[in-house]
Every structure is written in C-alpha cells, then in structure tokens.
Amino acid sequence: MQVCWEKFARYFEVELKEVKLSEGCYVMDPDKAVEMVDENTICVAAILGSTLTGEFEDVKRLNDLLAAKNKRTRWDTPIHVDAASGGFIAPFLYPELEWDFRLPLVKSINVSGHKYGLVYPGVGWVIWRNKEDLPDELIFHINYLGADQPTFTLNFSKGSSQIIAQYYQFLRLGFEGYKNVMENCMESARTLREGLLRTGRFDVISKEDGVPLVAFTFRGIRDGSLAFKLSANLRRFGWIVPAYTMPANLEHMTVLRVVVREDFGRPLAERFLSHVRMALSELDLAAKGPVPKMRLTIELGPARSAEEEASVRVVKREAVSGHRSVSLVSGKTKGVC
Ligand SMILES: Cc1ncc(COP(=O)(O)O)c(C=O)c1O
C-alpha cells in the first residue's frame, strides 16, 4: 500500500484495514476486502496500479460484491479509486475496463499528474462523482483575495506552474498523443520484461497489462540480499533501480522495479539490459569468492638492445593467501608479484 494511505489513517485517526497479499496474488482480493466491511466503514479504496507491481485491482468486481453487501445490510459503503498511475493509463490503453464512474459505487478518484500525466512533481487531483459527494462543510470560502475562492486542500498557497505545465501537455498531446505515449511505454516495458526473462535469472511478478513497469525477483533464490546487491551494482552504471521487500505475509520476497516513463525508449531498454547482464556477471564472480593468488618469483634478463624488451623467466610458483604484494628481492632483476 502506498504510504499516503497510512498517513491519511494516522493523521485523521481512521482505522485502516488492509487486505493482506498472498503468494502469487499481489493486489487486493475484492472478496476479502468486502468481507472486512462493517457498519463503520467509510469507504473501500481500490488501487489502479499497485505501487509495488503496477497491477490494476479489480474495481468492477469490488463494486459488484459491495453493491450486494450494501443491499443485504442496507449500508451505503462507497468506493474511492486511487488511480495515481492508472488514471492516465487505463483511458488510453484499456478504454473498455470499468474502474471509474461507470461503476455506481465509485464516488471519488485521485490521479497524479506528475506520473503518467507527464508533468513534473507536485500536481495531482481528486474528482468526485457528484457535487453532493464532497460535503459542503469541508469547503472553506475566502474572499480576501478579491473574489470568492472555495478551498478544500489541507495546505494553502501553492505555485501554479505545474497546473500550467499540465494544461500545456493536454493541449500539446491531446488524447491521441497520450495514447501514443502510453503504447510506447508499454512496448518498452515489454522489451524489458522479455530481456529480463531471457537471462533465465528472474521471475517477473508484474502483469503484462497495468502500469508499464517491470517488477522482478531472482528466480528460485530465497536470499533477498542479492536483489539489493544487483541494485547497488546497477547504480554504478547510472541506474537507480529500487529493491524492496514486499509487505506483510510476503516479506520474504525482495523485488526490483523499473518504472517505464515516456523517455525510456527501446534503445535505453536494450542498454539497461546489457548493464543488467554485466551486473549479474559481477555478482556471479563475487559469489565464487576471491580469485586465487599465486606468488611468482621471476628473473628478468637484461635487454640486449634499446629496442628489445627485457626477458622474463618464472623461477618459482606458489599459491598464497592474503594480499597481493609487489616487492623486489635480490636486486633490480628479480621481482615477486
Ligand atoms: C497508488 C499510489 N497512490 C498514491 C500515490 C501518491 O501520489 P502523489 O505522489 O501524487 O502524492 C502514489 C505514488 O507513488 C501511488 O503509487
């Protein structure tokens, strides 16, 4: 779960009930979520694009199960969709997918502009199904800036540059432009996914649809530290690939995640894959332990002319442990290395 939900629960003293993940199922199971609903539940939140794996939760099924429970109990529990990433993906790539106000219980949706809205950080929004779904008492009206200004946010003054940037992107790209960008991201994610699978070293746990990201684990290896080591090795090539453990119930799984944005095209994906292969070779080499060291006693024969190199003869060879050292024994013509 994204940390914003934990913050919300703590700051507003709301009891958070989380559906635990299980092996092979990395999103909320709608059946389990609806089972947890009671008469005090203020809403069920579904995530369109899990932060951990990019997978879309099944909002349609959640809506149907919850509608049945509401009918049975005469409660009125609504759904909020956290579409931070998916809100800018689903409309372009999966227009038939019902996750939004087409479902009657979805009352509000949040989306981040700074993810797949393609602007820089600091802009996002929440929309309500109807005016009545946002209680009036939560809206403050101020007039000291020259006109009536309704304000709902927790913070107050904010720059407008992100909004201008978002508006610019809407005008510049339009529906077709966003669709092309999202299709391209998906294509790059596919290249990445296939390349990682081809190494034979990883299991990809993200789905082929959803957010264009690839989340992967080391195949058949329980040692979670390997993912952190790979992440550290990739950093040396300039890639910041987060490695993290999965939440409760799946803490034993360590995952690496690459989120594909519009500037991550196929050439970059190929370059990334070649760096992964190099980083893997380094890990393999390190796993074999230190390279065995030999002590060689050599004799340098004098060069007979200025053009000729001195001759080298190995006179003794012994395996050593400890540090490699270079020192000269017996004058200038013999060395140990
Ligand atoms: C599912 C989900 N919800 C909420 C957020 C927070 O969004 P923002 O960064 O726009 O505050 C994120 C960001 O990572 C997210 O993945």
Please provide the DSSP assignment of 229-268 as one string: HHHHHHHHTT----EEE-STT-TT-EEEEEE--TT--HHH
Among protein residues, the one whose CA lies closest to atom 8 of ligand 1: 112
Identify residue 295 by its one-letter amino acid code.
Answer: R
CA of 92 to the centre of ligand 1 (A): 20
pLDDT attached to residue 337: 36
pLDDT attached to residue 299: 82
CA of 4 to the centre of ligand 1 (A): 7
Question: Do the two domains 3-165 and 187-287 of this chain adopt the same fold?
Answer: no
84 Cβ below 6 A of ligand 1: yes
Which residues of the chain, if any, have pLDDT below 70? Answer: 291, 306, 321-337
Atom of ligand 1 nearest to the CA of 51: 16
83 Cβ below 6 A of ligand 1: no
CA of 84 to the centre of ligand 1 (A): 5
Among protein residues, the one whose CA lies closest to atom 9 of ligand 1: 112
Q: How does strand 106-112 pair with strand 124-128?
A: antiparallel
Q: How many residues does the chain have?
A: 337
Contact assessment for residue 133 and residue 105, using Cβ atoms and an 8 Å cutoff: no
CA of 5 to the centre of ligand 1 (A): 9
CA end-to-end span of the chain: 56
Cα 207 to Cα 186: distance, rounded to the nearest angstrom? 11
**Residue 188's closest CA among 208, 217, 218, 216?**
208
Question: Residue 132 contacts by C-beta under 8 Å, 6 or more apart in sequence?
Answer: none
4 Cβ below 6 A of ligand 1: yes
Among protein residues, the one whose CA lies closest to atom 12 of ligand 1: 84
pLDDT attached to residue 305: 73
The 10s digit of each residue's pLDDT in 83-97 is 999 999 999 999 999
Distances (CA, A) of 155 to 14, 19, 115, 151, 299: 20, 30, 21, 10, 77
CA of 217 to the centre of ligand 1 (A): 23
164 Cβ below 6 A of ligand 1: no
Q: CATH number for the 187-287 domain, one of 3.90.1150.160, 3.40.50.970, 3.40.640.10, 3.30.420.40?
A: 3.90.1150.160
Which 3 state secondary structure label does DSSP give 25?
Answer: strand
Contact assessment for residue 39 and residue 28, using Cβ atoms and an 8 Å cutoff: no
> Computed from CA positions of residues 207, 212, 217, 218, in that sequence, does the dihedral angle turn out positive or negative?
positive
CA of 55 to the centre of ligand 1 (A): 14
The arrangement of secondary structure in 3-165, i.e. its CATH architecture, is: 3-Layer(aba) Sandwich (3.40)
Q: How does strand 254-259 pair with strand 311-320?
A: unpaired
Where are the chain's structural domains?
Answer: 3-165, 187-287, 293-336
Among protein residues, the one whose CA lies closest to atom 16 of ligand 1: 51
Among protein residues, the one whose CA lies closest to atom 14 of ligand 1: 51
Provide the whole-model pTM. 0.84
Atom of ligand 1 nearest to the CA of 124: 10
Structure token digits, residue 168: 């610019």
